[in-house]
Chains A and B, each alone.
Chain A
């Protein structure tokens, strides 16, 4: 998997955070994601998954602990470093309608790299390449609201790929997708050569795509290991409100060729 000597894509240590209203969401999260790894972050609703994601690119901050992305510390006060952090961390939000806000797909994909200062031909090349990587080159001139939900999700992935991120963070990537769109998105994600952190409670999807999983529960990392090993531990799953869907057998999934 990851070479231990290389700088990891993501390093979270001792991260704790309480919302201004006093609700404590994270109680000391420690996690390392190596370069090129695909890791699932599993957890029940309200476990603090979204709070953790918003720390990764410095939208939330000010609590205890540190987050490093490719060796660079995330510091919400350092505006210049923050710009680089937001290039390195590509967050794909759950609802593509939140992510795609420009009048056409092309402009939306160009939004990120243009904020990084790219213009003209180089920008066009970036946009075309990112759309090609998710197989959406043919919809570049259409308004996002006229695409199917699955297409919108893939375009949302392209909008952050265009920024050439160090790590791709996906918030519930499989939610609301029909089976064919799920499979198409899985093919896209497998074809990318970037680090992926997939936040989800879709256990079969995690088993299919991510060799390694973290379980976030009650604001701490409760388990960290190979996905299929974690899924085989029924007691662990039950303890953290993660149940296997009806008919899903991790052992059979492990035996299936991919």
Chain B
């Protein structure tokens, strides 16, 4: 708690990308990812162009490329499966460094790796240039039901509180000599998780009480308006528009 003044993923700034309304950025991200996914994997040059587009966005947003590279590591567990594909897939084989690998498996691995990485980088750029709560305002502007955005808002607010509580419970366990040595520790840990759930549930009730005391009737009052102008939509559309050209070229070039 109290580590920084903003979310860990957010890099404060005033670049043109930072200033775009959140809903524009969200729609641009979604369109970009869909276009990338729709591109045939065999057109390797198209993916290079996509990467160049994202690099341009990163430069415009003044997000250091090293930061992006560090954060891409998050996808490792998800793409580990892709690295298995060349070994387990069937079909014609090809020799790579003396190992016989499936050709279709190699293409599948590349497909997952390239598209996954581009999607992750685009999301990293969104997270680095948009505060989480502003992002939620954007989601709400896009007509997401208020119930869902309210839940997400509370997750954002109480994530730290619950994590701190978990930390205190861990300290309290350790202070009484508990160490998770083997499977027998599972029971203790499970009870801790249960206690944490109950505490969070009770906190939820108290928060609700405090909200009702201040006139809450099921709807959050709309406080900030994050309306977007046509110019801002057009600016946000630059990325998916460029990506659309690349995708179209990838399909049409023989």
Residues of A in contact with B (beta carbons under 8 Å apart) = 54, 57, 59, 83, 86-87, 89, 91, 93, 95, 97-99, 101-104, 107, 110-112, 114-116, 123, 142-146, 159-160, 163
Please state if A91 and B221 are interface contacts (CB–CB under 8 Å): no
Of B132, B156, B203, B221, the residue contacting A115 (CB under 8 A) is B221
Chain B's closest residue to A95 (CB) is B206
The closest CB in chain A to the CB of B164 belongs to: A145
Query: Which of B157, B161, B217: most chain A Cβ within 10 A?
Result: B157
Most buried by A among B154, B203, B223: B223
**Interface 0/1 of B20-36, CB less than 8 Å to A:** 00000000000000000
B203–A98 touching, CB < 8 Å: yes
A145→B133 contact, CB < 8 A: no
Most chain A CB within a 10 A radius of its CB, from B132, B153, B211: B211
Say whether B1 faces chain A, with CB atoms less than 8 Å apart. Answer: yes
The docked-state distance in angstroms from the alpha carbon of A25 to that of B156 is: 36
The verdict on A83 contacting B215 (CB below 8 Å), with A114-B221, A145-B2 known, is yes
Q: Does B207 contact A (CB under 8 A)?
A: yes
Nearest-neighbor residue (CB-CB) of A112 within chain B:
B214
CB <8 Å contact, A98 and B157: no
Which partner residue on chain B sits nearest A87 by CB separation? B215
* Distance from B5 Cβ to chain A, minimum over Cβ atoms (Å): 6
Given A59-B213, A116-B215, A146-B2: A101 touches B206 (CB 8 Å cut-off): no
Q: Is B160 an interface residue (CB 8 A)?
A: yes
- Known interface pairs A103-B157, A145-B160. Does A163 touch B214 (Cβ–Cβ under 8 Å)? yes
Cβ-defined partner of B154 (8 Å) among A83, A101, A116, A146: A101
**Taking A59-B213, A159-B214, A160-B214 as contacts, is the C-beta distance between A101 and B2 under 8 angstroms?**
no
Shortest CB–CB separation between residue B154 and chain A, in angstroms?
Answer: 7
Contact B215 A145 (CB under 8 A): no
> A101 to B213, Cβ gap below 8 A?
no
Bound form: Cα–Cα A115–B217 in Å: 8
Chain A proximity of B206: nearest CB distance (Å): 4
Chain A residue contacts of B52, Cβ below 8 A: none
Q: Which residues of A contact B157 (CB under 8 A)?
A: 101-103, 143-145
Chain B residues in 8 Å Cβ range of A112: 214-215
8 closest pairs, A vs B, by CB?
A114-B221, A115-B215, A112-B214, A103-B133, A98-B206, A99-B210, A91-B213, A145-B160
Q: How far is the CA of A102 from the CA of B213 in the complex (A)?
A: 15
Question: What sequence of 0s and 1s flags, for each residue 176-206 of chain B, a beta carbon within 8 Å of any chain A beta carbon?
Answer: 0000000000000000000000000001001
Are A146 and B5 touching (Cβ within 8 A)? yes
Q: How far is the CA of A95 from the CA of B161 in the complex (A)?
A: 12
Known contacts A104-B133, A145-B160; is-contact A114 B153 (Cβ 8 Å): no
Q: Can you list 24 contacts pairing A with B, beta carbon distance less than 8 Å?
A: A86-B215, A91-B213, A93-B206, A93-B209, A93-B210, A93-B213, A95-B206, A97-B158, A97-B203, A99-B210, A101-B158, A103-B157, A107-B224, A110-B223, A111-B214, A115-B214, A116-B215, A142-B5, A143-B5, A143-B157, A145-B1, A146-B4, A160-B214, A163-B214
